[in-house]
Amino acid sequence: MRHLFPLFLVLSCLLTFLPGCEPKEDLVQTSGSLEFATDTVKFDTVFTTIQTVTKRLWVYNRNSGAVKTDVSLAGKLGTTYSLVINGDAGASISGITIRGKDSLLVLVRAVLGDNGKDKPFLLEDQVNFRTNGNEQNVKVVAFGQNAYFHRADVIRTNTTWRTDKPHVIINGNYFSGGQTYPLGVAVVSGATLTIPKGARIYVHAGAFLQIDGTLRVNDDFAPGTGATDTVKANNPNIVRFQGDRLEPFYADIPSQWGGIIFSSTSRNNSIRYAEIKNATFGALLYNRDAVLPHPTLALNNTVFRNISGSNVSFANANPGTGGGVISYSGDVTATNCLFTNCGEYAMVGIGGTYDLNFCTIANYTPAFRRETSSLTFTNVDDALKNPPKMHTSVTIRNSIVWGSFEDELFLQNNGDTSFTFSILNSLLRTKEYKAATDAAGTPGLAAAAFANIVNVDPLFIRTSLTSSRPDYTLQATSPATAPRRAKIVGTTTPGRDLINLPRNPDFPSLGAYEHK
Checking if the pLDDT of 155 tops 90, the result is yes
Checking if the pLDDT of 13 tops 60, the result is no
Please report which confidence band the pLDDT of residue 293 belongs to, taking 50, 70 and 90 as the band edges: very high
In the chain, % of residues over pLDDT 70: 88
Checking if the pLDDT of 175 tops 90, the result is no
Q: Is 337 helix (H, G, I), strand (E, B) or coil?
A: coil
The domain segmentation of the chain, as residue ranges, is 24-145, 148-474
What integer pLDDT is reported at residue 55 of this predicted model? 92
| Angle (nearest 5°) at CA 30 between 28 and 34 | 85
What integer pLDDT is reported at residue 180 of this predicted model? 61
Query: For 398-447, what is each residue's pLDDT tens digit?
Result: 999 999 999 999 999 998 999 999 999 999 999 999 999 999 889 999 99
Residue 487 is given by DSSP the state P
Lowest mean per-residue pLDDT among 115-124, 239-248, 355-364, 486-495: 486-495
In the chain, the amino acid numbered 194 is T
Q: Where are the beta strands (DSSP E) in 292-359?
A: 296-307, 323-335, 338-342, 345-357
Q: What is the mean pLDDT of the chain?
A: 88
Checking if the pLDDT of 25 tops 80, the result is no
Q: How far apart are CA 430 and CA 82, in angstroms?
A: 56
Query: Do 111 and 119 touch, CB atoms closer than 8 A?
Result: no
Other C-beta atoms within 10 Å of 333: how many? Answer: 17
Please report which confidence band the pLDDT of residue 370 belongs to, taking 50, 70 and 90 as the band edges: confident
**For the residues 303-316, what does the mean pLDDT come to?**
71
Query: Do 275 and 305 touch, CB atoms closer than 8 A?
Result: yes
Residue scoring higher pLDDT (37 or 26): 37
Q: Is 13 helix (H, G, I), strand (E, B) or coil?
A: helix
The correct CATH number of 24-145 out of 3.10.20.30, 3.40.50.2300, 2.60.40.10, 3.65.10.10 is 2.60.40.10
Checking if the pLDDT of 231 tops 90, the result is yes
Please report which confidence band the pLDDT of residue 16 belongs to, taking 50, 70 and 90 as the band edges: very low
Checking if the pLDDT of 499 tops 80, the result is yes
Q: How far apart are CA 515 and CA 400, in angstroms?
A: 13
Q: Give which of 71, 72, 73, 63 is closest to 34, Cα–Cα.
A: 63
Q: Give which of 47, 209, 187, 176 is closest to 115, Cα–Cα.
A: 47
**For the residues 174-186, what does the mean pLDDT come to?**
67
Q: Which residues contact 366 (CB under 8 A, 6 or more apart)?
A: 404, 464, 465
Residue 54 is given by DSSP the state P
Query: For 161-170, what is each residue's pLDDT tens digit?
Result: 999 999 999 8
What values do phi and psi take at 402, rounded to 5?
-145, 160
Checking if the pLDDT of 181 tops 90, the result is no
Lowest mean per-residue pLDDT among 111-115, 256-260, 470-474: 111-115
Highest mean pLDDT among 179-193, 253-267, 482-496: 253-267
Highest mean pLDDT among 71-80, 359-368, 458-467: 458-467
What integer pLDDT is reported at residue 197 of this predicted model? 98
Query: Do 46 and 74 touch, CB atoms closer than 8 A?
Result: no
Query: Do 97 and 68 touch, CB atoms closer than 8 A?
Result: yes
Residue scoring higher pLDDT (420 or 321): 420
Checking if the pLDDT of 150 tops 80, the result is yes
Query: Do 286 and 259 touch, CB atoms closer than 8 A?
Result: no
Other C-beta atoms within 10 Å of 226: how many? Answer: 9
Checking if the pLDDT of 201 tops 80, the result is yes
Q: Where are the beta strands (DSSP E) in 244-399?
A: 260-263, 269-277, 281-286, 296-307, 323-335, 338-342, 345-357, 360-363, 375-378, 392-397
What integer pLDDT is reported at residue 246 of this predicted model? 85
What values do phi and psi take at 112, rounded to 5?
-85, 135
Checking if the pLDDT of 247 tops 90, the result is no
Burial zone of 191 (CB within 10 Å; 0-12 exposed, 13-18 middle, 19+ buried): middle
Lowest mean per-residue pLDDT among 10-14, 239-243, 450-454: 10-14
